[in-house]
Structure 1
């Protein structure tokens, strides 16, 4: 049988895009598959990007999230604990609709972490957030995610913006220091429009080890007095 070919598999890395009804979310099926056909599996490393849809009203979305949580909680049984396979999930909002992510944590520590506008609490199953120590690259998809977020990445050295943080009145430096150490920052990429040069200057002043910066575009200053005010600022 084809399934018998998997008996020698020791490492499984799986990244897929699915919906909330996918069989990939069935912990019991995974358990039977591993016991019967992958008895030598040591590493179970998954990442599910789950599309929840954009056409639903708020109540329907809440019901879908509740059902999805019930499926995800099945991965908390003794079968997974004994093998030291732990998982985390988050529900978030993108420009295309409501999405979720479900992924392995320790001991498969990821070096890239994306911050979205959350629809609910980020939940780490059966483990503390020590897995954030391994993150080297933080990708900010939503400014609201770091204004409201509590995650801190002590060893991050790369930062990417996909949102200009245009709605906040707080200092860009104080906001970023909530999630990373700017002194450790080596690479900065700005992949969004209308990210002002003033914010870039603020970051540069607090990131002495920054050696690479990538700019998609930035907000231009057409008035001469705007440019003069930048030159005369203490940061400049």
Structure 2
């Protein structure tokens, strides 16, 4: 959304109907800067029930926190900061006092702590569903969870080992907790086991993923934990993986322990993948995963009752190795997102022909290419057969063997230009003005652009570059140049009119117009 469109939206819709709005979703980091923005204070939104704050800086979030208490109907809150937040415990103290709040999701990067969170004995939150998408240390969980005794669902997506040694984890019992999801790294099984034993005996759904050591493959230990501390468990969904795990015999012996009546009677089945650099053991039916990783040279064993109908739930495919022509390729009918890694760039075959035998290219919505110097010819081919792409993310692109002019003159380029729906484009690594302009012409529907370019190059071309943007992309209103210093804002500031808002944050230069 452009600045002028946002101003009209506020004037004609937001401000006249403040007392009738029940849901707000803010994602543009410039909105919090504008003096005319109605979002400096939230107390006027009396009926607000759902609030989503994305890309909000620490100082703006701290200014908004006191206003949250006036939102008596607020039942769902999502906060995702950009940059560092100086004290997440202050945030928790405020949020846990919101009387109507039932759902809270938070993603913050904490810089330092100047207010210690201590176990509460007289103040409890009404929260029932809590999602923490930030790094959090396992030994601090007891204190945090003491504020939320009514929790029914709990999810930690980046749970980590503590930086200090703590011999005893104080137990916190959540009697209403039925769903627990943990994504961890470098935490020993002893601590996970102790946490579960102390937490709740009412769990019905347990999802767990980690980079494992061999102790996590102890089926007997899991069985005892389930029988004595999770007796009502219906869903046991685990994913254990290790990179460069070189003891294949030990791996097979361990996973064979999961082939017993205890697991089959509960319809809990597992499979594994083993390559030169990855060992992975995970639950299958009846759990339907949304992400699937394709490997070559895969040593895979499937346990009984594997149902390929589960592939219908997959909406994201990652291709880790060389793309090869095979007769037994698995087909994923509902995939909308594709991720390619370095080895995918080496194939000499038609990339679209191979991929179209695995996924329906025509329904792809997002493509991420995590390859260095991805071939421009392969990209053009892929985009030609994927006309419904809205989001394109590229690590870096190779234009060394062909000029942008010759590419623009091809029928493939013209066809893509006339049909593609790309609105969000990212080129991560340093690129050239020639490459940027090529993609600007290729994507006339573009609304948001993120590119990496050297600061000294950008300083000399930025004015002309923005003119080209306005000429070729009528819908483009937000641009981010990666890896720009804070001083760069001062240097480029005089080059812009008042119609442009500029900001440098985390070494990235943002422009909104």
Please give the TM-score of this superposition, normalised by the length of structure 2. 0.39
Q: State the match for 2:394 in structure 1.
A: 215
Q: Does 1:198 align with 2:377?
A: yes
Q: Does 1:136 align with 2:315?
A: yes
Q: CA deviation at 1:92?
A: 2.3
Other structure's SS at 2:342 match: coil
Could you list the runs of 5+ residues in structure 1 that have no partner in the other structure?
54-60
Give the one of 350, 355, 364 matched to 1:176: 355
Q: State the match for 1:48 in structure 2.
A: 240
Whether contact under 8 Å (1:47, 1:101) holds in the other structure is: yes
Show the 5 A alignment for 1:30-179.
Answer: 30-53=222-245, 61=246, 64-93=247-276, 98-118=277-297, 120-126=298-304, 127-144=306-323, 147=325, 150-163=329-342, 165-179=344-358
Q: CA deviation at 1:234?
A: 4.5
The Cα offsets for residues 128-168 of structure 1, whole Å up to 9 and x where unpaired, read as: 33222111111122225x55573321110000112253432
Q: State the match for 1:235 in structure 2.
A: 412
Q: CA deviation at 1:90?
A: 0.3
Q: Distance in 2 between matches of 1:234 and 1:4?
A: 65
Q: CA deviation at 1:171?
A: 0.6
Query: CA, structure 1 residues 128+205, in 2 after alignment: closer, same or farther (shift >3 Å)?
Result: same
Q: Distance in 2 between matches of 1:78 and 1:164?
A: 41
Query: CA, structure 1 residues 191+87, in 2 after alignment: closer, same or farther (shift >3 Å)?
Result: same
Query: CA, structure 1 residues 121+128, in 2 after alignment: closer, same or farther (shift >3 Å)?
Result: farther
Q: Distance in 2 between matches of 1:163 and 1:129?
A: 28
Whether contact under 8 Å (2:318, 2:339) holds in the other structure is: yes
Whether contact under 8 Å (1:18, 1:51) holds in the other structure is: no
Q: CA deviation at 1:75?
A: 1.3
Query: CA, structure 1 residues 150+44, in 2 after alignment: closer, same or farther (shift >3 Å)?
Result: same
Question: What is the root-mean-square deviation of aligned Cα atoms in Å?
Answer: 2.4
The Cα offsets for residues 66-110 of structure 1, whole Å up to 9 and x where unpaired, read as: 3312221221211111111111210124xxxx2211111222211
Q: State the match for 1:14 in structure 2.
A: 208
Query: CA, structure 1 residues 227+86, in 2 after alignment: closer, same or farther (shift >3 Å)?
Result: farther
Higher relative contact order (CA 8 A, sep 6+): 1
Q: Which has the larger radius of gyration?
A: 2
Whether contact under 8 Å (1:140, 1:163) holds in the other structure is: no
Q: Distance in 2 between matches of 1:159 and 1:51?
A: 22
Tell me the matched-pair count: 217
Whether contact under 8 Å (2:290, 2:316) holds in the other structure is: yes
Other structure's SS at 1:7 match: coil
Q: Distance in 2 between matches of 1:166 and 1:15?
A: 29
